[in-house]
Amino acid sequence: MQQKLIIYTDGACKGNPGIGGWGAILFYGEHKKELYGYASDTTNNRMELTAVIEALKALNRSCEIEIYTDSQYVKRGITEWIHGWLRKNWKDVKNPDLWQELLKQTKAHTISWHWVRGHNGDINNERADELANLAITEAGSSGS
């Protein structure tokens, strides 16, 4: 039986909008990969979405995935709200560019979406948060 890929993601923002960071941890068996990045003028929700998008972009083949996020916006958006947004042709949707990219990135995979309470002791969620904040720190020190 093929192992599932496990992904934890988080986004953060200093100011909203402001400098934002995203972090993702990918687990496959004994392997672990950490990713993070930043944007200079963004929002927390955009960073939450970017974390998942970038984690999925890092994959080079179709996978069975469990994604853990502390963002109800991401989880409910991709599992519930997106169907209505598609019917309405993205009318009145915030961040349509990222939602469309997320939808594109999910097509090749079988994904189970999970919400975890943020800042509640889940070690992998806490690490994803640390990565997002590290990105913000690096963004600030690079003069961006």
Residue of 20, 23, 37, 48 with catalytic role: 48
Is 10 an annotated catalytic residue? yes
Q: What is the pLDDT of residues 32-47, one digit of tens each?
A: 999 999 999 999 999 9
Is 129 an annotated catalytic residue? yes
| pLDDT attached to residue 140 | 82
Binding-site annotation, residues for Mg(2+) = 10, 48, 70, 129
Is 83 an annotated catalytic residue? no
Confidence of residue 143 (pLDDT cuts 50, 70, 90): low
What residues make up the domain containing 60?
5-141
Q: What is the pLDDT of residues 46-58, one digit of tens each?
A: 999 999 999 999 9
Q: Is 107 exposed, middle or buried (0-12, 13-18, 19+ CB in 10 A)?
A: exposed
Q: Is the pLDDT of residue 19 over 60?
A: yes
Whole-model pTM: value is 0.95
> With contact defined as beta carbons under 8 Å apart, do 21 and 3 qualify?
no
Percent of the chain with pLDDT over 70: 97
| pLDDT attached to residue 144 | 43
Q: What is the pLDDT of residues 64-78, one digit of tens each?
A: 999 999 999 999 999
Residue of 10, 21, 37, 101 with catalytic role: 10
Is 119 an annotated catalytic residue? yes
Q: How many domains does the chain have?
A: 1
Residue of 20, 23, 54, 70 with catalytic role: 70
Domain CATH code at residue 13:
3.30.420.10
Residue of 64, 114, 119, 126 with catalytic role: 119
To the nearest 5 percent, what fractions of the chain are helix, strand and coil? 40, 30, 25
